[in-house]
Amino acid sequence: MNLKGSILILLFLVCVIGLIGGYKYYTFTKEDPSYCSICHMMEEGYRSWRVSPHGQIVCQKCHTLDVLEANKLLIAYVMRDNVPLKQNHGRKNPWDGCIACHTQEAAQGSVTLRSSYGHARHVFMQNLRCKECHSGKTHSFEVDQKVCQKCHKDKLVHGMGMAGLYCLNCHNYGEASPMMVTEKRCFSCHTDVPRKGVMSRIKCYECHYPHGKLRMESNDCLRSCHGNETRVGQHGLHLKRTSLVCMDCHKPHKWRIGKADAVGLCDRCHPLRDPASFIY
């Protein structure tokens, strides 16, 4: 083999080794989470990432570095303390990558309002960025109710055992309803409330206002739906000529008064009669 052939073979081998080394270097900096852990500044972040819900996603998926930044970081590591390095590397805007993965929660909801009304409303209607709500501790993206109250200052919960509840205990971002609340969530706590009855088609929040007035009063019934009730049967007689109010007789969530209910109720004031005759 002549000298020229030997040089060509040597150059070919050098190119192959260079390509293999370059590929390994590229994958190490772009796809290997251990690349981040070689720096002492990342030890805490690396540990929190490993136990987070995103622990199966490589760091570089969210924390993007261009080629220049990646090489600066590598040189800084090799040179140790001899090369100054800013602390904001890899933090240009990792939040932009959220929607790329969370399309079910955000993008589809914005189009149909069926997948996640909550995300559609906040991200696309009100132009809020993910970090406005999901900015907890490092690699922990749970929303704290204090974050909600930065915008919803008038939406505090008052009394009746609900004062300590977290916003998302009731409001489900995955619901299609603009209220983001379903009866299923209400019934998960209020197990003593019957699910079927004369008022079962009415939504809980049509009568109860957790951010305002929770407990209904008789005047609320008359003002909202039953405005003409005083002109029906004996209602006017009982409401106007006595000190009775609606809920003295109609018990919440049951409402209907049967013969068994009339015993001990109606006969406190007059001889017992069939409640069906009351409306005539």
- pTM of the shown model: 0.57
Q: In degrees, to the nearest 5, what angle opens at C-alpha 247 toward C-alphas 243 and 250?
A: 120
- For the chain, the domains span 27-92, 226-280
What integer is the mean pLDDT of 125-135?
A: 80
The neighbour count for residue 13, using CB atoms within 10 Å, is 10
Per-residue pLDDT of 215-252, as tens digits, reads: 888 888 888 888 888 888 888 888 888 888 888 888 88
pLDDT at 108: 37
Report CA 206 to chain centroid distance, whole Å: 22
What integer is the mean pLDDT of 44-49?
A: 82
Contacts 24+ apart (CB under 8 A), 157-165: 157/210, 157/211, 158/210, 158/211, 158/212, 158/214, 159/214, 159/215, 160/214, 160/215, 162/210, 162/214
Arithmetic mean of pLDDT over the chain: 77
Residue 109 pLDDT greater than 80, yes or no:
no
> What's phi and psi for 89, nearest 5 deg?
-65, 140
**Among all chains, which residue has been given the structure tokens 């204090």?**
146
CA 102 – CA 123 distance, rounded (Å): 12
CA 122 – CA 116 distance, rounded (Å): 10
pLDDT at 75: 75
pLDDT at 237: 83
> Residues with Cβ < 8 Å from 199, sequence gap 6 or more?
253, 255
Per-residue pLDDT of 59-86, as tens digits, reads: 878 877 777 777 777 777 677 665 555 6
Q: Decide which of 229 and 90 is more confident.
A: 229
